[in-house]
Amino acid sequence: SQTIHQWPATLVQPVGSPLSLECTVEGTSNPNLYWYRQAAGRGLQLLFYSVGIGQISSEVPQNLSASRPQDRQFILSSKKLLLSDSGFYLCARATGDYGYTFGSGTRLTVV
């Protein structure tokens, strides 16, 4: 199984509040993991990439950070949310056939 679990499915947070979105994966160990943001139901923006525990690459400087405390756990965080952080956040893992498997996503609305 290469299932990806993301939670929560929906989140409404006030501006300035902290954020923690969690992604856990099943299957093979040491997967490459990704966080994407999708605004307005359109294109995907790669936010972070991780090849292993404690190894995070950031693609876009912003208000967000990521951590990988365990092999199959990938966390997206913010200390203070902005309105512009609203969007649909997707976690993905690389599969053995060169593609990705995606989680079901988290809809974040910052109010």
Interface contacts to another protein, rule CB under 8 A: 4, 6, 32, 34, 41-44, 46, 49, 51, 57, 88, 90, 92, 97-105, 107
CA distance 30 to 73: 10
Instruction: Look at strands 87-94 and 33-38 and give their pairing.
Output: antiparallel
Least Å from the CB of residue 75 to another protein: 18
CB of 79 to another protein, least distance (A): 26
The residue (of 36 and 72) whose beta carbon lies closer to another protein is: 36
Kindly tell me which of 20 and 104 has the beta carbon lying closer to another protein: 104
Nearest CA to 47 out of 17, 98, 8, 91 is that of 91
Q: Which amino acid is at 108?
A: L
Give which of 96, 105, 100 is closest to 76, Cα–Cα. 105
CB-nearer residue toward another protein: 34 or 64: 34
